[in-house]
Structure 1
Amino acid sequence: MHQMTRFWKDRGGNFGVMTAFLLVPLIGTAGMALDFGHALTVKQQLVGAADAAAVGAIAEKSKAVAQAMQLPGDGSVALDPAEARSIFLGQMFGELSTLPVNVDIEVAKSNGILTSRVSFSATLRTTFMTILGKDDITVSGQATAQYQTPSFLDFYMLLDNTPSMGVGATPVDVAKLRAATINGRNGKDKDCAFACHVVSESGVEDKDSYYNLAKKIGATIRIDVVADAVAALMTTAKDTQTVNNQFRMSAYTFGRSALDANLYTVATPTTDLEALGKATENIGLMSIPSHDYPNNQTDYNAALTGIDEKIKSTGLGTSTADRQAIVFLVGDGVGDAQRSNCKKKLTHTKKGSEQLPRCMEPVDVEYCNDIKLRGVKIAVLYTTYLPLPENGFYNTWIAPFQPSIPNNMRACATEGYYFEVSPTEGIAAAMNTLFRKIVSAPRITS
């Protein structure tokens, strides 16, 4: 009994006993920190792999994006799991390359925006926590990425090819034409800078017309520059596309002949941009039956109405089935048409024994608004109508509304889709600049 009492009162071995009791939780706690630290490191690496997989799943050249281009609206996109999983596993190295990971990838399209979600989970074996009965740790996470699909655009090129586009393209060309016409034709049309394209009512071309003279002396006229600019634009459009058939193009002029000045189709809507580039050879100056034929064939009202009828539908540009329609208008903004419903002072022109109403006014914005109300956008390349203060006809009929010409052209355009260039400056460069501005503009998705 005495020995037992001494045993309980003896404190000499307490430290060793306590240490033995505390050793297990101490090792377990330290091991827990190491195991959790390792798990945290692995998770961070897996999150990085998930980020890469989320981005890779909707990369421009991925199958998901290609399939999304074909969707008429919103919905899920069928994704090749092997493709995204290979991207995920491609980011893993060392022990991660052998780690069994469950990967789930979802891709959905909404308002032209693709969203990918990559979820993962992996089970890690513990090292020290087994002492506490914990044999494994599960790590999981999610990564998302978004991609706005390219805008699918239908361009309707509306090109002013009326007689006013027969002026020399540069001061040098103007001088060439004036020098070549110093004596005129039968005492008329002297010192002329316009290359009128004369074709008789029977269809016979006047070989001595200034249009042919301009070609003979190597003088470039404005419509030639516009035609070349459209052809060059097709190359730009082709190089700018991020996916096949992103842009569809068509081209129209105000008409081939003054005797039948109706919208002329140079090329119907096509994704074959190279073919449309070749079709620009058909863009020529509107012909007139004689040099003294009334110059009243620039009917913007009729041209805008005609192009509006060509556009059957427009959308948001989110897919090939939902293309955004854009009218690309190139002109100097001054209407000169044979009609009496004129918003400016009406004059008359003589044709034989007839006195025909002649309306000269800036482009009527109401016709532009009618098109825009449908959701169609209008891009305007305004070739500056230069003042002619020494010309009596200009001073009487054009000068009074000269300030309205650029203002109306700007108002005709969709906000941000307006560009002005002098007729003697780089029309091709201006057209290219405006096109790039259009295709790079953010798309409104709601």
Structure 2
Amino acid sequence: MKQDLISKLKAFVADHKGNVAIIFAFAAIPIFIGIAATVDYSRAAKVRGELAAIADSAVLTGTTPAMLTQSTATARTAVQNMFAAQAQTIRGQTYDATQLTVNVADDQQPNYIKRTVQLNYNASVPNVFGALLSRSQTSFPIQSTAATSNAPNIDFYMLVDNSPSMELPATTQGVSDMITKTGCAFACHENDVADSENTVHYKGWGTIDSYTFAKNSGIALRIDNVRDAVSQVATTAQSTMAYNGATYRMAVYGFNHDFATIQSLLATNSTNVSTIQASVATLTPPLMAKNNCLADYSDAARTKPQNYVYPTATGKTTVSLNGAAANTSGNCFKSGNAGINYSLYNNDAMTDFSYAMARVNSVIPTPGNGGAQSGDTPQGVLMIVTDGVVDAAVYSSSDCGGGNTVSISNTYGSFKRCHAPIDPSVCTTIKNKGVRIAVLYTTYQPVESDSWYVGHVKPFISQVASNLQSCASSPSLFHEVTTNGDIRAALADLFQKAVTTAPRLTH
């Protein structure tokens, strides 16, 4: 019996006719298993990719600007609903809500909110060849995280130097043209259309002032570029808040010897931007009667009385110049004094920075964090545009802060004309209440041929930029623009420093 079995095995081995079939049969088993695994893996990978994309979109839903104004619970529901709605459309798997976890957390920082959205989903895809592989399904995790720092709501307060020094041409070519054509670098905005300072009688001399001549001749002045730059900020604010979901408001103030509200605080939305820009277009240095002498009205038709602000022992006093202070001829000589004493003589003391800062401080409230939570209020940013040189009437020399003074007098009293760099301490007062200050320094143009500049401004000109830098809240919020520089780009850059980044996706 044993011998017969051995003989049959030897015969089987010796028979070559069935070898290939048998070998293939044995080899086919792992091949089929491999094919089955590949098919099931490919199906699972496809579903995984689709679910991952849906998860990314879902978590970003919780970090949109609109959603940042909602509670974390509302954001969580929105993310869950979006993921569920999309996941149920994917073929090859069955969505299981019990396997979805969404966490939304807000981290309140001093000036913004950081929101983090985390999504975790345990997915399962049935295997086509589950019986063959002894594995009925393929399971895998889906994870996605989105984090964003929301752009804070900000109120921008634009404080613009609107004094006669801003009537300097904006380019060196413009300065050269004004000197050549009028005999004076500055475009003087005054009633005296036959100004003796204009040693060259320009076209229209005796009929129009040199400010109007510059405008007619296409010579851009600094005040022109400043108006353009401030108007552009309103447009930029509108487009930026449309992108990041923040709310920006803007107010504009002008200062010289006085302080004026050009535009009260207004949201920079599409409805209001044109209103803001129309107000900015009215920014014009005060009308003078003649050199060193303020006009009683701000228009040639004498329909808009100007204010005159003068110092006293206890502060500042403001009077409306409705014509009573000047004689009917429209000049500012006090009758009977042969020009020795003028009723509105101020010796061009027309840039009172400290007074402007005190006034703007009184209108800017204590800012909030700029968040959307109930009770929070916008951040505050004060943007100052100035050449940084104080030229103001003060009550006594001790009020000039170490600058130089000359005596002046008019109907309202005897004062000192103070020349000095700005006092950074007036900025500190505003910064201490939480308002950030950005400064655009339009470089004070040295005029070495001008004896007044050499004697009264040049001694401290090296301190002007450094004092303005000290006024700014940080080095990045200070920008200097020299003659020929791009004021619009510089002011836009300062604005952008206050804007946070868009949402970012992390894994």
* 1:382 equivalent in structure 2: 441
CA–CA distance in structure 2, aligned partners of residues 35 and 105 of structure 1: 34
Q: Give the match's secondary structure for 1:411.
A: helix
In angstroms, what is the RMSD of aligned CA positions?
A: 3.8
TM-score by length of 1: 0.75
Cα drift, residue 194 of structure 1: 1.9
CA–CA distance in structure 1, aligned partners of residues 486 and 133 of structure 2: 79
* 1:148 equivalent in structure 2: 149
Cα drift, residue 430 of structure 1: 2.0
1:298 paired residue among 351, 369, 376: 351
1:348 paired residue among 400, 406, 420: 406
* 2:423 equivalent in structure 1: 364
Shift in CA distance, 295/101, structure 1 to aligned 2, threshold 3 Å: same
1:196 paired residue among 177, 188, 202: 188
Q: After superposition, where does 1:257-296 map in structure 2 within 5 Å?
A: 258=257, 261-271=258-268, 272-293=272-293, 294-296=347-349
Unaligned runs of 5+ in 2: 3-29, 193-205, 294-346
* 2:491 equivalent in structure 1: 431
Q: Give the match's secondary structure for 1:65.
A: coil
* 2:247 equivalent in structure 1: 246
- Render the CA deviation track for 1:207-244: whole Å, top value 9, x for unaligned: 74333333344332211111112222323333333145
* 1:110 equivalent in structure 2: 107
Q: After superposition, where does 1:394-405 map in structure 2 within 5 Å?
A: 394-405=453-464
State whether residues 253 and 266 of structure 1, in contact with CA within 8 Å, keep that contact through their aligned partners in structure 2.
no
* Greater alpha carbon shift after TM alignment, 34-43 vs 351-360: 34-43
Q: Give the match's secondary structure for 2:369.
A: coil
CA–CA distance in structure 1, aligned partners of residues 354 and 174 of structure 2: 31
CA–CA distance in structure 2, aligned partners of residues 42 and 132 of structure 1: 15
Residue 412 in structure 1 maps to residue 412 in structure 2: no
Q: After superposition, where does 1:129-144 map in structure 2 within 5 Å?
A: 139-144=140-145
2:388 paired residue among 318, 333, 346: 333
Cα drift, residue 51 of structure 1: 4.5
Cα drift, residue 329 of structure 1: 0.8
- Render the CA deviation track for 1:117-142: whole Å, top value 9, x for unaligned: 22223344467776999756654443
CA–CA distance in structure 2, aligned partners of residues 166 and 151 of structure 1: 36
CA–CA distance in structure 2, aligned partners of residues 127 and 224 of structure 1: 75
Q: After superposition, where does 1:163-178 map in structure 2 within 5 Å?
A: 163-178=164-179
Shift in CA distance, 398/54, structure 1 to aligned 2, threshold 3 Å: farther
Shift in CA distance, 32/288, structure 1 to aligned 2, threshold 3 Å: farther
Residue 100 in structure 1 maps to residue 95 in structure 2: yes
Unaligned runs of 5+ in 1: 1-5, 7-28, 182-190, 201-205
State whether residues 120 and 140 of structure 1, in contact with CA within 8 Å, keep that contact through their aligned partners in structure 2.
yes
Cα drift, residue 296 of structure 1: 1.4
State whether residues 52 and 88 of structure 1, in contact with CA within 8 Å, keep that contact through their aligned partners in structure 2.
no
Cα drift, residue 374 of structure 1: 1.9
CA–CA distance in structure 1, aligned partners of residues 41 and 149 of structure 2: 33
Aligned amino acid, residue 426 of structure 1: D
- Render the CA deviation track for 1:7-44: whole Å, top value 9, x for unaligned: xxxxxxxxxxxxxxxxxxxxxx9999999998887776
Shift in CA distance, 193/70, structure 1 to aligned 2, threshold 3 Å: same
Q: After superposition, where does 1:112-127 map in structure 2 within 5 Å?
A: 112-125=113-126
Shift in CA distance, 311/39, structure 1 to aligned 2, threshold 3 Å: farther
Cα drift, residue 298 of structure 1: 0.9
* 1:230 equivalent in structure 2: 230
Aligned amino acid, residue 299 of structure 1: D
Cα drift, residue 425 of structure 1: 2.4
State whether residues 189 and 211 of structure 2, in contact with CA within 8 Å, keep that contact through their aligned partners in structure 1.
yes
